[in-house]
Chains A and B, each alone.
Chain A
Amino acid sequence: MSKAAELANLIGNINAGGGGVNRNVIINGAMNVAQRGDVTGKTAASYGGPDRFAVGITSHGTYAMSQSSTVPSGKGFANSYKLDCTTADTSVAAGAEVTIQHKFEGQNLQTLRKGTSEAKPITATFYCRSNLTGTFTLELFDNDNSRQCSKNFTISSADTWEFKSITFPADTTGAFDDDNAQSAVLVWWLAAGSDFTSGTQNTSAFASNTNANRVSSSIVNMSSSTDNEFLLTGVQLEVGQNPTSFEHKSFAQDLHECGRYYQLIAHGNALAMGIGCDWNSSTAELCLDHPLGAMRANPTLDQVTGGNYFTYTGGGLSSGIDGAFTIEHQTTVMSAMYATPDDTLSTDGSSRLMKTSNSAAYMAFKAEL
């Protein structure tokens, strides 16, 4: 795109109520933050690889998700989201689904003015790459009002980065709730069964959802071979009918925004987690701030534990913890939890260090949509 065209697009979007800084409502669109690390063996809806992008899998193969350094050349990206088929399924069941999803809080979408006479068109742009050429579907689904619109895109050349720009029309019906719940989801369909493809695809305007009308009947089958992979980066969704250049953010800004939904505390051996205290002779209490700031909701404590995975130590005591930590008191900015160390504690409220003591030990806070 020429500079003149880019400027014209930006001005057009500003006139439409978009443009400017913070125009991209996607979080972590450059795939720079990946707090969970890479994951394998997924056969159902899961997070893994870059933050904020989830995979949806229903009865259709096994997948690995990772943060990849394969990126489009010269576009300013260092990372991409990689979805890799590790167990194939050549038979597409009626309810089969393989998708990549990005979910939105309603309060972050008010700028779209959806459901009003001033509703704005919305443009999605992204870079994608796959060994599998053919037709894919991108859908914007309105969870609050069960409405959707989907558009198709084609990957023409195998193993080659391609830039895609897709504009969804303004929708004057069905406003997004102004709250912290999921109001919409952007969905890249990579495989779909007849439950989603057997109708007439709804491509021209938002309409009440009919599952059969959501996806192209020509869609590829990402699960057809373990050779198959799909990579994605530079994802932007903005108000306006025009694509503008990707709004790059600092790593710190991306990490902070991701932290509203997920915050990794520790993963690995010999990592300090915080200071706990002896609650009674058998219970250690640990109180942790959510270090990246307030979370979307009171978070779930996501943990991997086992024999002596954690150690409570200090004042001459070093006691292993074998079981799970239990959330006891909480706000969106702080969690108090308890665990049961192997040894007898004092009853005087002594403070001790809580740390990991196994390479597989894992603790994080999760408030995903």
Chain B
Amino acid sequence: MATYKLCNSRLTGELCSILKNEGNGRFLSIPIAEDNTDYQEYLKWVAEGNTAEAAD
């Protein structure tokens, strides 16, 4: 099952992207961009009541 993790900027410390683990070594680093369909899928996942792992 794919999982999401929040990632913060090393420069500002603010949320900069979402890391999705798709398994078998495949990762998606997803930008915070409303017209990115992977980000839209993440928002839908959150709206279903899920919560991403906190940033390091």
A residues within 8 Å of B by Cβ? 180-181, 279-280, 283, 285, 296-306, 309, 324-330, 337-338, 360, 362, 366-369
5 closest cross-chain pairs (CB), A and B: A298-B33, A301-B29, A324-B27, A297-B35, A327-B17
**Partner pick for A360 among B16, B25, B33, B35, CB 8 A cutoff:** B25
For A326, the chain B residues whose CB sits under 8 A away are 7, 16-17, 19, 29
27 pairs, CB–CB < 8 Å, chain A vs chain B: A181-B35, A296-B35, A297-B36, A297-B37, A298-B33, A299-B36, A300-B29, A300-B30, A300-B38, A302-B26, A303-B27, A303-B29, A304-B25, A305-B25, A305-B27, A324-B19, A324-B29, A326-B19, A326-B29, A327-B16, A327-B17, A327-B30, A328-B9, A329-B9, A360-B25, A367-B36, A367-B37
* Inter-subunit contact A330/B19 (CB<8 Å): no
| Interface residues on chain B, size class | 20 to 34
Chain A's interface: helix, strand, loop or mixed, by majority?
strand
Q: What is the CB-to-nearest-CB distance from A362 to chain B, in angstroms, rounded to a whole number?
A: 8
Q: How far is it, in angstroms, between the C-alpha of A324 and the C-alpha of B28 when the chains are bound?
A: 8
* Inter-subunit contact B29/A325 (CB<8 Å): yes
Q: Indicate if B47 sits at the interface (CB-CB under 8 A).
A: no
B residues within 8 Å of A by Cβ? 7, 9-11, 16-17, 19, 24-31, 33, 35-39
Q: How far is it, in angstroms, between the C-alpha of A279 and the C-alpha of B35 when the chains are bound?
A: 29
Known: A327-B17, A368-B37. 16 other contacts (CB 8 A): A180-B35, A297-B35, A297-B36, A300-B28, A300-B30, A300-B38, A301-B28, A303-B28, A304-B25, A324-B27, A326-B17, A328-B9, A328-B10, A360-B25, A362-B26, A367-B36
Task: Pick the most buried of A300, A366, A369: most chain B CB atoms within 10 A of its CB.
Answer: A300
Q: How far is it, in angstroms, between the C-alpha of A303 and the C-alpha of B19 when the chains are bound?
A: 11
Q: How far is it, in angstroms, between the C-alpha of A296 and the C-alpha of B30 when the chains are bound?
A: 14
Closest residue of chain A to B35 (Cβ to Cβ) is: A297
Q: What is the CB-to-nearest-CB distance from B41 to chain A, in angstroms, rounded to a whole number?
A: 10
* Inter-subunit contact B10/A300 (CB<8 Å): no
Q: How far is it, in angstroms, between the C-alpha of A301 and the C-alpha of B17 when the chains are bound?
A: 10
For A329, the chain B residues whose CB sits under 8 A away are 9, 16
